[in-house]
Structure 1
């Protein structure tokens, strides 16, 4: 049961801090586990590394903003902790297959990497 609680807390910490600058070690510290333990648990349960999950969630939320706001690509990049529009554009293009400007003009948003929600039944 402890692994479930650790994973739940890790996901909650990540979601609360997606617009903040944090490290994978910060997530592990918040869950009172080692980084290597958290990484193993994540890989087993989610099939992504902690870093991949964070990146995919940030880019999913960025894609939502591209489709629902008039914020510039630079503003969105900075909001999700990309310190340059070029780095953001490369990461965005790798995940979505097009650059952010093309995505904004030609796509309707689908939440490809939704937030993971875990529920524990009482007992």
Structure 2
């Protein structure tokens, strides 16, 4: 598990907002730290960049829906914001 409060806050925020278009600018308000500080701490503790972590969580949730629901692939892709062109570059 991740020790620091900042990493726990970031992960909780991500989990609550996996279906939203997450922007790096929204995280400092959640953590109370500067963007550079929490990005460094997050990478240090998880071994992943914020973008990698979000993609992994979205893919895991999408896979779960594909396996355990009748939803179409395109519906799931839109639900987890995979339709955003900038998705893989920003966060």
Q: TM-score, normalised by structure 2?
A: 0.83
Structure 1 unaligned blocks of 5 or more: 92-123
Counterpart position of 1:103: none
Number of the residue aligned with 1:65 = 65
Larger Rg: 1
Whether the aligned pair in 2 keeps the contact of 1:24 and 1:51 (CA below 8 Å) is: no
Unaligned segments of structure 2, at least 5 residues? none
CA RMSD of aligned residues (A): 1.8
Superposed displacement of residue 24, structure 1: 2.2
**TM-superposed deviation, 1:9:** 0.8
**Runs (4+) off by over 3 Å:** none
Q: TM-score, normalised by structure 1?
A: 0.62
Distance 2:46 2:25 in 1: 18
Q: How many pairs align?
A: 84
